Amino acid sequence: MKIAVLGGDGFVGWPTALHLSDAGHEVHILDNLSRRWIDTELGVQSLTPMDSIQERTRIWHAETGRRIHFNLIDLARDYELLKNWLAEHRPDAVVHFAEQRAAPYSMKSDRHKNYTVNNNVNATHNLLNALVELELDAHLVHLGTMGVYGYSTIGAAIPEGYLPVGIETMGGETVNQEILYPSNPGSVYHMTKCLDQLLFQFYAKNDRLRITDLHQGIVWGTHTEQTRRHPQLINRFDYDGDYGTVLNRFLIQAAIDYPLTVHGTGGQTRAFIHIQDSVRCIELALRNPPARGSRVEIFNQMTETHRIRDLAEMVARMTGAKIAWLPNPRKEAAENELVVRNEKFLALGLNPVRLEDGLLSEIVDVAKKFAYRVDRSRVPAVSAWTKDIAPLINHDPEGKRLKSVS
């Protein structure tokens, strides 16, 4: 297939582009490189040294003989440019990663909230609008989030996208139907993914677009089979309080002798998936598109669930790291259960990578190798969900701030 990977320079986008190219597909990356600019804004860098996208794709071609094409396009702002590219290339499938992906970043300030909504929602709608206008029957695969469901506990497993309900009619009878699972976003970022869902439902119904929405858990890990092939193909690794995912952050904290930062009771249960499984799931979704005119296909793209404090204790046992119990910058329940159904990908042949498969030590090794690149001041999570929470945040988990002499 000819596949457009929107946001293909990012944390999941880059290894996906490599994986699809390695599988024999013609891959085109469309990206505005905004994630690199955000690094500049935050004064932080990927733990792993990243070359330019042009150098990355050059190395891939030198190693494999396969080309990945790069196009500098801002999907949220350059509608005509996007439409013209789609009209010229008419891809068979579009994989959509081109959204600001960090919940803490989306809550930093009013400016960051506006940016996240404008970037994410406009990018998604511009893409859908262009596909309809061009009468382009490309299968759209979108990377969503488990966060659209929220984390409340109702004593039942979260289904894959749709909830069967009984509705009482005027005549007193019960009519059964399936509805989109009620959205319960926990941040502005998660809210934009909920808005994406509604856009997809409308365009699938109104214009018969073929859409798959992947509700993904928290990604952990560093390498995929393809990123291991050359040092310059390495994926980015975020450790800072805004973009670092929780398990990766614990492992880099352990590697640099920084306390593991657990917020609140650590009783938040989250869904997880390894980066290798993430790219496999995207390929499986591409191989199994919905029929034209059918409803949006929804997968829960996760493989296991864990409490945050349990993960911290596991990493502490493995590495000898200390745990720091800090105030929670998020507005959320202190404890929650999370039971998630994920039969669809398992039925398609996914053989998941589990935490016990020994890859945690691999991440620690990567973290130690590049520990010299860490800015310790960027490790704490300090983006507050509300103004009331902001004064409670601990900006110095190590307790190393200069104190006045009495």
Burial grade of 384 (CB within 10 A; 0-12, 13-18, 19 or more) = buried
- List the one residue out of 103, 68, 270, 244 whose CA is nearest residue 186: 103
- List the one residue out of 127, 143, 126, 235 whose CA is nearest residue 189: 143
Alpha helices in 235-307 (DSSP H): 246-255, 275-287
149 is catalytic: no
Q: In sequence order, what DSSP letters do the residues of 293-348 get, joined into one string?
A: TSPPEEEEE--EEEEHHHHHHHHHHHH---EEEE--SS-S-SB----B--HHHHHT
At position 95, the amino acid (one-letter code) is V
Alpha helices in 208-242 (DSSP H): none
> Collapsing DSSP states into helix, strand and coil, what is residue 126?
helix
Q: Which of 108, 113, 193, 344 is catalytic?
A: 193
* Residue 35: how many other CB atoms lie within 10 Å: 21
189 is catalytic: yes
Q: Which of 16, 116, 124, 145 is catalytic?
A: 145
Q: Which of 79, 151, 189, 258 is catalytic?
A: 189
Q: Are 253 and 244 in contact (CB under 8 A)?
A: no
Angle between helix 110-133 and helix 188-207 axes, rounded to 10 deg: 10
Q: Are 261 and 251 in contact (CB under 8 A)?
A: no
The catalytic site residues sit at 145, 189, 193
